[in-house]
């Protein structure tokens, strides 16, 4: 399926849902399937313009765990929002980044230490140039090979198009 068709179908489905968690869950389900990642490898942030922080919408467990200041120099989400452009990093685990949220167990069933993010793509949720938030898709694993294949520039472009489509619904 072409990305434009995917986005059109997703927008149609989002338009029928009331604002809130139902829309968030629909986006996460569609995105995790499209990129062949787990639901906990998708992150959604909303920008609180009054306080200049990114607040988690997804994963739900991180919603109450904190926020990311837009001024953070170690956060890819903050950089994505500040620069209003998408990013791809297939060596994310070795890059300096804010890793505090990676240490939080997202499931009560999780055994052992949470896996680190190895690879990531990130895109702004913006409407007419105004950033409303950020969407990220990552691949986690104990090492890059176990995390799965590298993200491609085409996948980054696809995420950026999805982000443009869903921005007004979140």
Q: Where residue 61 sits, what CATH number does that domain have? A: 3.30.450.40
Tell me how far apart the alpha carbons of residues 121 and 1 are, in angstroms, rounded to a whole number: 20
pLDDT on residue 148 = 96
* Tokens of residue 168, six digits: 């007004």
Cβ neighbors of 20 (< 8 A, separation 6 or more) are: none
Domain count, the chain: 1
pLDDT on residue 62 = 75
pLDDT on residue 32 = 97
Parts of the chain with a pLDDT under 50: 100-105
Residue 110, CA distances (Å) to 40, 73, 95, 113, 115 in order? 12, 30, 25, 8, 10
Tell me how far apart the alpha carbons of residues 133 and 144 are, in angstroms, rounded to a whole number: 27
User: Which domain does 100 fall in, by range?
Assistant: 3-169
pLDDT on residue 103 = 44
pLDDT on residue 46 = 96
pLDDT on residue 41 = 93
DSSP 84-116: TS-EEETTGGGS----GGGGS-S-TT--SSPPP
On whether the CB atoms of residues 131 and 123 are closer than 8 A, the answer is: no
Tell me how far apart the alpha carbons of residues 108 and 148 are, in angstroms, rounded to a whole number: 24
Tell me how far apart the alpha carbons of residues 43 and 76 are, in angstroms, rounded to a whole number: 12
Residue 101, CA distances (Å) to 24, 26, 71, 85, 106 in order? 19, 23, 17, 22, 10
């Amino acid at each position: 399926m072409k990305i434009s068709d995917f986005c059109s179908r997703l927008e149609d489905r989002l338009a029928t849902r009331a604002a809130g968690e139902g829309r968030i869950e629909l986006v996460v389900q569609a995105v995790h399937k499209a990129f062949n990642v787990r639901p906990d490898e998708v992150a959604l942030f909303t920008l609180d313009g009054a306080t200049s922080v990114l607040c988690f919408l997804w994963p739900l467990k991180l919603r109450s765990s904190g926020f990311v200041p837009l001024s953070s120099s170690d956060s890819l989400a903050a950089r994505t929002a500040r620069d209003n452009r998408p990013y791809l990093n297939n060596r994310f685990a070795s890059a300096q980044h804010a890793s505090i949220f990676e240490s939080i167990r997202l499931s009560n069933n999780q055994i052992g230490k949470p896996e680190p993010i190895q690879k990531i793509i990130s895109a702004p949720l913006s409407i007419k140039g105004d950033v409303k938030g950020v969407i990220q898709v990552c691949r986690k694993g104990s090492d890059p090979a176990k995390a799965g294949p590298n993200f491609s520039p085409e996948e980054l472009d696809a995420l950026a198009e999805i982000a443009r489509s869903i921005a007004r619904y979140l």
